[in-house]
Structures are given as structure tokens and as C-alpha cells.
Amino acid sequence: MNYIFDVGNVLVDYRPKKYLGSLFSDGELVEKLYTLVFGSPEWLEMDKGLLSFNNATEIFCSREPQYQKEIRTLMKHVNRIFDPIEETIDLLPKIKEAGHSLYYLSNIQFEVRDYLLKTHDFFTMFDGGVFSCDINHIKPSPEIYRHLLKKYSLNPADCIFFDDMKENVTAAEKENIKSILFTTPDCISEFI
């Protein structure tokens, strides 16, 4: 069996509002910055690999110049969002020991991809994977699932996919990949 994992909120935490709250005490500012940055079309363009981190930062700053300092601070330290979810990470060796393969499939930007691969050695357990920035497609687009299957010659019937977003799970199911909506690491345990 091939186990395919989303990265954000499955392998590592991705909670932008919590991160913003650690930087700024003003709740109204947190909401404003969340919408401006993480809720922006530019954030998705970065995930697609079509917009650089620096260019996006300049766009955010030009859009809301009164928050330039705060925008630059949050963008400078954005990698602080991504702490490993240890309960999930602890399951990876058990999956490998049971004779299964591991793959990742994630919407992610070049800078974040590089940071995660450099910082978290659990990625060495994976047999491969696809980051959206490398192929200019993001979930739930069918192309990203098809790319992963084709790249590694995977039969969808031999795959199980874990993602925290319902629309991504639904899209994977349309590609005949058994898919589980990730809520806690326990939902993985029952398939090992």
C-alpha cells in the first residue's frame, strides 16, 4: 500500500492565526493580516510556484502600506508556523516497517518547501512526493494527483491519502484514490 500524506495540518502544524497571535497582541490586526496575506490570491500563486516570496511581500506591503513593518515581520518568520505533529511523525516508521511506501502531496511554496526539507529529517523516510510549487498545480486540481500517480507509477487502487481539507479528499477520491479526512493521527493508525 502507498500512504500519501498532505503536509500542512497532517505532518506539520499550519495554523496562521495562532502564529499571527504569537507575533501581535491586537486581535483586529491579526484578522487584518490573516486576510491580507494567508487569505490572498497571492498566497495561492506562491503555492503554484508562480509568484516569489519577495514579490508577494512587496505586493502585500503596497496593498496596505500602513502595515509594512508588520507584514515584513510576519513574512520573515513565517516558517515558525510549521512545527511537526509528533503523533503523526511517530507513525511513519511503523508504516515503513509494515512494508508500505510513503509519499507526500502538498500545496506549498518554494521557500517553505526548502525550509521543511532542510529542517525536518522525517522527510527522508518518504519514497517521494510532490510539492505544488514544483508543478504549478494545487490541490484540489486533478492534475496534481495525476502527476503524483504518474511520476511514481502508482496504481490509485493501491493508495490511501490523508488530508485535512474535505475538498482535497473529495478530489483524490475522484481519481480513485482511497481518501481519509485527517482529524487526528488516530485516523491513520487504524490503517496500519
SS3 at position 94 = helix
96 and 156 fall within a common domain:
yes
Domain count, the chain: 2
CB 57 within 8 A of CB 117: no
Mean pLDDT value across residues 182-192: 92
SS3 at position 55 = helix
112 and 162 fall within a common domain:
yes
The model carries a pTM of 0.94
pLDDT per residue as tens digits for the range 129-145: 999 999 999 999 999 99
Domain extent at residue 141: 2-13+82-189
Burial 122-146 (b: 16+ CB within 10 A, else e): bbeebeebbbbbebebbbbbeebbe
Helix crossing, 142-151 with 166-174: angle to 10°?
A: 60
Tell me, what's the pLDDT at 80? 85
Mean pLDDT value across residues 119-129: 97
92 and 23 fall within a common domain:
no
150 and 91 fall within a common domain:
yes
74 and 92 fall within a common domain:
no
Last residue of a domain, one of 25, 52, 80: 80
What CATH number does the domain containing 90 carry?
A: 3.40.50.1000
Tell me, what's the pLDDT at 192? 85
Mean pLDDT value across residues 173-185: 97
Label residue 190 by pLDDT band (50, 70, 90). confident
76 and 104 fall within a common domain:
no
123 and 76 fall within a common domain:
no
Label residue 33 by pLDDT band (50, 70, 90). very high
Q: Report the alpha-carbon distance of residue 44 to residue 31 in Å, rounded.
A: 18
pLDDT per residue as tens digits for the range 50-99: 999 999 999 999 999 999 999 999 999 898 899 999 999 999 999 999 99
Residue of higher predicted confidence among 181 and 192 = 181
20 and 69 fall within a common domain:
yes
Q: Characterise 95 by phi-psi region: left (phi > 0), alpha (psi -120 to 50), beta (else).
A: alpha
DSSP conformation letters of 133-183: HHHT--TTSHHHHHHHHHHTT--GGGEEEEES-HHHHHHHHHTT-EEEE-S
Nearest residue to 50 via CA among 132, 136, 126: 136
